[in-house]
Amino acid sequence: MSGPRARILVVEDSEDDIFFLKRAFRKAGVNVLDRVLSDGQSALDFFAGRGPYADRSVYPLPTHMLLDLKVPKVNGLEILDWIRRHETLSALPAVVLSSSGERDDRDRAVQLGIDGYFIKPSRGEQLLDIVRQIDAIWKLSGI
């Protein structure tokens, strides 16, 4: 990706997962995690510019999204569906990082145009490998 610095929005409700994800991105040398939202309704409000997210100079839209499917209030598949139905967001690059290995979840996410689907690993070195794969998909290094 050329142009402005990449800004990844992470939609994840687990504080532990957020901690390890940030660490893996730092270790991979890909320091573009911009914002973390812990529930699906906050993500939709953010994308719609509602409430506290109305000022785009403070809350610019992300260039990429990393999404857990099992988040509170509005699940990840509903977030993806909403994004894909909005012209200004429909091409937003998205990767799923979820504990869900359910085939229906994966199939639906693929139908909604994700760039990758990864199961949350149990070990840190596996997460680092996933982050490197995401970097390769999105070509984030050096941005």
Evaluate whether residue 33 is within a structural domain: yes
Give residue 143's pLDDT. 54
Round to whole Å and give the CA distance between 79 and 89. Answer: 11
Specify the pTM.
0.92
127 touches 92 (CB < 8 A): no
Round to whole Å and give the CA distance between 20 and 22. Answer: 5
Evaluate whether residue 143 is within a structural domain: no
Evaluate whether residue 112 is within a structural domain: yes
Evaluate whether residue 15 is within a structural domain: yes
Dihedral class, residue 142 (left if φ above 0, else alpha if ψ from -120 to 50, else beta): left
CA 93 vs CA 16, 51, 76, 104, 116: distances in Å = 24, 24, 14, 21, 9
Evaluate whether residue 1 is within a structural domain: no
Give residue 99's pLDDT. 92
Domain of residue 94 covers 8-138
| Nearest Cα to Cα of residue 47 among 4, 107, 87, 98 | 87
Extract the tokens encoding 6.
Answer: 């990449």
Write out the chain's pLDDT in tens, 143 residues: 334 588 999 999 999 999 999 999 999 988 888 899 999 999 999 999 999 999 999 999 999 999 999 999 999 999 999 999 999 999 999 999 999 889 999 999 999 999 999 999 988 889 999 999 999 999 987 65
First to last CA, the chain: 8
Evaluate whether residue 2 is within a structural domain: no
Q: How many domains does the chain have?
A: 1
Instruction: Provide the CATH number for the domain around residue 123.
Output: 3.40.50.2300
In this structure, the strands spanning 64-67 and 8-11 are: parallel
